[in-house]
Amino acid sequence: MSTDDLKTLHVGAPNVGNRDLFNAIVDGVFERRWFTNNGQLVQELEARICDYLGVKHCILVCNATVGLQIACHALELSGEVILPAFTFVATAHALQWERLHPVFADVAPGSHNLSVESIESRITDQTSAIVGVHVWGKPCDTDAIDRLCEKYGLVSMYDAAHAFGCTHNGKMIGNFGLCEVFSFHATKFFNTFEGGAITTNDDRLARKIRLMNNFGFESTDTVIHLGTNGKMSEMSAAMGLTNLESLSEFLAVNQRNYERYRQRLSNQPGISLFAYDEQNATNWQYIVIEVDEDEFGTSRDNLVAHLHSKNVLARRYFYPGCHRMEPYASLYPRQISRLPHTDQLCSRVICLPTGTAVDLANVDRVCEMIVSLGNDCGNGC
């Protein structure tokens, strides 16, 4: 079989639940002719997410980037905000958009999450908050971050874009910090086509976020707060309600694929598979490998090019790191040299295809390509 005949495998191919159920839910949307503005389905999805996460408040938003911006604004952040550079650039963009100064902290050695020591070394009298990111759904050290916030009088919030359905210290992600922001983008294991949510257990903050999410309207003709348009549509909520019914199926497929990757790659020199914490529930959303060029025999980028040539569209995450992207490299050039562990990680990481569009035969195909290249390069490719 030629390469052209092989199915193209993507990282983040959308999961799709029961389409008959989706069509039935959408029929109701058309019958009601209520497409947006806090419709019936948005309210239902918010309630069901609150129940699923065990959180008091869930405010659905049009996407997680807007959700981060609204959260920053509602928390009245100012000056400098500490975050990882090893994250999707939207985390930094949301801060910069709000005229905040992103200060990038390094990841902990051997980890993909923030180093608490690096965070503390970045705190100044201009720091107002720490934004932790639960990378790959693996929780940040929230206890340590909370201690830093208490010690220095800071606010903590979390980018939980990867972490829907994950737990930490016996609680669902969504319950940490003053608020957490989820992404329900099409590439996420639980998606609403496009969308996101802000969760919080703070009643006052929840009311403020709701006002800001809908132009500051308290009622039909009464605007009482500065606001924007961050609302989720009924069509997106319909997709969310549909996919909630298939959540256990999505999780089972993700875990099945992860276990197969682990089985097939465990003995490959130079390839290490990111390990999820067995003490916590996870969504198994990302298949993350690190490539040790010396042991594997060729670079991470050569492996990515090899996979792409075989119709496997693996991705470099979060290359080259936010600190080396614009506008941050130009605005804050002194930060570029301060993140050695992040730089090393960005040179090693690949995400491989998974999800309901990927079966075990596909996983085997990807693993065979990796092993084959490693064997060839081990013999001097």
Which two tokens mark 246?
Answer: 């298939």
% of the chain exceeding 70 in pLDDT: 98
Measured between alpha carbons, how far is residue 360 from residues 33, 202, 263, 290 in Å?
A: 42, 43, 12, 21
Look at residue 143 and tell me if it is in a domain. yes
Torsion angle defined by CA atoms of residues 173, 174, 175 and 181, in that order, rounded to the nearest 10 degrees: 130
Domain closes at, from 245, 274, 304: 245
Nearest in space to 93 (alpha carbons), one of 335, 336, 327, 332: 327
Least confident of 81-90, 215-224, 299-308: 215-224
DSSP state of 379: T
Which two tokens mark 16?
Answer: 């799709």
Domain closes at, from 245, 260, 277: 245
Q: State whether 366 and 260 are in the same domain.
A: yes
The arrangement of strands across the sheet holding 287-291 comes to 271-273, 287-291, 349-352
Domain closes at, from 205, 226, 245: 245
Look at residue 333 and tell me if it is in a domain. no
pTM of the complete model: 0.96
Looking at the predicted structure, is the pLDDT value of residue 95 above 60?
A: yes
Domain of residue 72, residue span: 19-245
Q: State whether 231 and 361 are in the same domain.
A: no
The predicted structure's pLDDT at residue 168: 96
**Residue pLDDT, tens place only, 198-209:** 999 999 999 999
Rounded to an integer, what distance in angstroms lies between the CA atom of residue 284 and that of residue 276?
8
Looking at the predicted structure, is the pLDDT value of residue 101 above 60?
A: yes
**Residue pLDDT, tens place only, 129-174:** 999 999 999 999 999 999 999 999 999 999 999 999 999 999 999 9
Q: Helices H, strands E: what count in the chain?
A: 14, 16
Q: State whether 277 and 357 are in the same domain.
A: yes
* Averaged pLDDT for residues 342-361: 97
Number of structural domains, the chain?
Answer: 2
* Averaged pLDDT for residues 279-289: 96
Q: State whether 230 and 262 are in the same domain.
A: no
The predicted structure's pLDDT at residue 36: 96
Q: State whether 139 and 30 are in the same domain.
A: yes
% of the chain exceeding 90 in pLDDT: 94
Which two tokens mark 315?
Answer: 């991705």
Q: State whether 165 and 306 are in the same domain.
A: no
The predicted structure's pLDDT at residue 1: 43
Rounded to an integer, what distance in angstroms lies between the CA atom of residue 115 and that of residue 179?
21
**Residue pLDDT, tens place only, 18-45:** 999 999 999 999 999 999 999 999 999 9
Nearest in space to 136 (alpha carbons), one of 290, 9, 252, 263: 290
Q: State whether 91 and 170 are in the same domain.
A: yes
Least confident of 67-76, 134-143, 218-227, 345-354: 218-227
Q: Please count the CA atoms within 13 angstroms of the CA of 320 that sit on its side-chain side.
A: 8
Q: What are phi and psi of 83, to 5 degrees?
A: -155, 165
